[in-house]
Structure 1
Amino acid sequence: MDFLTSSTHLHIFSWVVGIIVFLIAATQPLDSKVRKIMKMVVRVFYILIIITGLALFIKFMSGDAALYGIKFIFGIVTIGMMEMVFARQAKNKSAQLFWILFAVSVLITVALGFHLPFGLKLF
């Protein structure tokens, strides 16, 4: 299981691809076969994001457990907002609030990830 925690590359790759696939799926017509396939692909990436994130959380939380816990919660909230966008779109209801919450939670999660000791030092 060391390949999950030797670096953050797998985790970063999985959430970047997951967000890109989510954006593609969310912008497709509701009855599109491409949308259904992309929704399944993004859900596979949810699993990969959670597994790699949990592995990193377990290994590195001893340094700053509170911030790692907050980041983990915001990561789960981000995935929840992605699913809420899909659910609201499927019911033909406005998903604008969930798009905003998704954007905010992504920004907070990424900022915390880069700020934490094992993250990339961008700022």
Structure 2
Amino acid sequence: MSFLTSQTHLHITTWVVAIVIFLIAALMGKQSKGLHMALRLFYVLIIITGAALFFQYQTVDPMMYGLKFLFGILVIGMMEMVLVRQQKNKPTGIFWILFAVFLFITLFLGFKLPLNFDFLA
């Protein structure tokens, strides 16, 4: 299972694809059942790759990696809340705001921590 933890590319790819699918599904509204199911598959892939990285590298800075893991789960939760509430014609404004805040915090922690992605390499 070293392919999950040797680099962060698989994890980054899964969450980038998930965010794109989420934005497309949110723009489509109620017609996005297939995309919503695909997005749920990517939730699982994000959690698997993120957990593998977390358990491999948590000894570097356990509290910060734990917070990143927590905020990552919250991002996934807000994505799901936006889509489900949108399908039920309920207001989603607060969940969009929470999604943006949690995503910013997760990305900030992800790029700040030692196992970050070097854009210049």
TM-score range relative to shorter protein: over 0.9
Deviation sequence 1:62-115 (CA, Å, 0-9, x none): 010000000000000000000110121122111011001001101100110011
Q: 2:29 touches 2:87 (CA, 8 Å); kept in 1?
A: no
Q: Matched residues in 2 for 1:92 and 1:75: separation?
A: 26
| TM-score normalised per structure 2 | 0.95
Residue 5 (structure 1) shift: 0.3
Larger RCO: 1 or 2 (CA < 8 Å, sep 6+)? 2
Q: List structure 1 runs of 4+ shifted beyond 4 angstroms.
A: none
Q: 2:26 touches 2:83 (CA, 8 Å); kept in 1?
A: yes
Residue 120 (structure 1) shift: 2.3
Kindly, what percent of the aligned residue pairs are identical? Answer: 56
Q: What RMSD in Å do the two structures reach over aligned CA positions?
A: 1.0
Give the gaps of 5 or more residues in structure 1. none
Matching residue of 1:88: 85
Matched pairs, number: 119
Q: 1:75 touches 1:106 (CA, 8 Å); kept in 2?
A: yes
Deviation sequence 1:22-75 (CA, Å, 0-9, x none): 100111031x2xx11100111110000000000000000001000000000000
| TM-score normalised per structure 1 | 0.93
